[in-house]
Amino acid sequence: MTRPLLELNNLRFAWPKQPVLLDIDHFALAPGERLFLKGPSGSGKTTLLGLLGGVHLPQEGEVTLLGQSLNALSARQRDRFRAEHSGYIFQMFNLLPYLSVQDNVLLPCRFSQQRKQRAEQRHGSLSAAATHLLQGLGLTDPALLSRPATTLSIGQQQRVAAARALIGTPELVIADEPTSALDADSREAFIQLLFAECAEAGSSLLFVSHDTALAPLFDRSLALPELNRAASAEVN
C-alpha cells in the first residue's frame, strides 16, 4: 500500500480563548492526487492549510508530510521543510511588486537549495525553468519575464503565482481560493493548466475553494464541514 504524501490524525485546534475550530479524525492526500476541499467562509479552511504547512501546530494530534511528523520539528525546521517540499498559491497571489515576473517565480529557490538544484537539473538553468513553467501556464511572451509582476493582468498574475508554487517540483502544491478573481471560463482553463504542470512535476495538489462547480474536475472532493467534527458539534 502506498504511503500517503500528507496525513493528519486525531487533530484538534483552537485559537486562544476560542472554542475548538477543527476536530478531524483522519485526513490523507496520496502522491500525485488532485483533491478539491470545499467549505464556506469561516469554516477553518485557511487555518487547516496553516496546520498542514506547519505554520501552526495543533493542540492535539499529528500532521505528517513525506513521513516526517511536523510536530517533531522546531519552528525553524518547519519553515525550512515547508520551503523545500511545498508550493503555495494564495488567493491574493502575494507577488512582490518590486520584483520582475522571473524573480517572483524564482523566489522559492532563494530559500530552498533543494528546489534550486531540482530546477537546474531539470532545465539546465533557473531562467530556463521559469520560462518553461510560464510557457506551460500560457504566458509565452518572453518580454513578460522582465516586467514588474504587478503590471500584469489579474489572470497573468495568477499564472505567475502558480509558476512560483511549482518551481523546483515541490511534492505538495496548496492552492487557497486561487480562482476567486476569475470568470468561469478562465477558472476552468487555469485549473487544466495547473493540472498539467502538477502532473509533469509529479506534485500532489490540494485545491481549496468554496466554488463547488469546480469539484468534478478533481480526482476527489471533500467538504470540510463533513470532515470536521467541531462543525457538526456546533450544528448539534
The tens digit of pLDDT for each residue in 7-25 reads: 999 999 999 999 999 999 9
From 223, 158, 206, select the one nearest 51 (Cα to Cα). 206
Distances from the Cα of 82 to the Cα of 73, 108, 193, angstroms: 11, 10, 24
Query: What per-residue confidence (pLDDT) applies to 232?
Result: 65
Q: What is the pLDDT of residues 201-219, one digit of tens each?
A: 889 999 998 888 899 999 9
Structure confidence at residue 27 as a pLDDT band (50, 70, 90): very high
Query: What per-residue confidence (pLDDT) applies to 119?
Result: 94
Calculate the dihedral angle through the C-alpha atoms of 72, 177, 39, 227, rounding to the nearest 10 degrees: -30
Span 99-121, mean pLDDT? 95
Angle at 5 between CA 4 and CA 7, to 5 degrees: 65
Reply yes or no on whether the pLDDT at 235 is more than 60: no
> What nine digits make up the cell of 166?
511549482
Domain ranges of the chain: 6-235
The single residue listed with the C-alpha cell 503565482 is 161
Distance CA 203, CA 174 (A): 10
Reply yes or no on whether the pLDDT at 236 is more than 50: no
Is the whole model's pTM more than 0.85, yes or no?
yes
Query: What per-residue confidence (pLDDT) applies to 107?
Result: 95
Distances from the Cα of 86 to the Cα of 51, 217, 236, angstroms: 13, 22, 36
Q: Do 204 and 5 touch, CB atoms closer than 8 A?
A: yes
Structure confidence at residue 1 as a pLDDT band (50, 70, 90): low
**Secondary structure class of 96 (helix, strand, coil):** coil
> Which of 64-68, 104-108, 179-183 bottoms out in mean pLDDT, i.e. has the lowest?
179-183
DSSP percent split of the chain into helix, strand, coil, nearest 5? 45, 20, 30
* Complete edge-to-edge strand list for the sheet that includes strand 22-29: 22-29, 6-13, 60-65, 68-69
Span 134-146, mean pLDDT? 89
**How high is the mean pLDDT of the chain?**
90
> What nine digits make up the cell of 234?
456546533
Percentage of the chain lying above the pLDDT 90 cut = 67
Reply yes or no on whether the pLDDT at 234 is more than 80: no
| Domain range 6-235, its CATH number among 3.40.50.2020, 3.40.50.300, 3.40.50.720, 1.20.1740.10 | 3.40.50.300
Query: What per-residue confidence (pLDDT) applies to 62?
Result: 95
CB atoms within 10 A of CB 185: 8
Cβ-based neighbours of 92, under 8 Å, separated by 6 or more: none
Structure confidence at residue 2 as a pLDDT band (50, 70, 90): confident
> What nine digits make up the cell of 161?
503565482
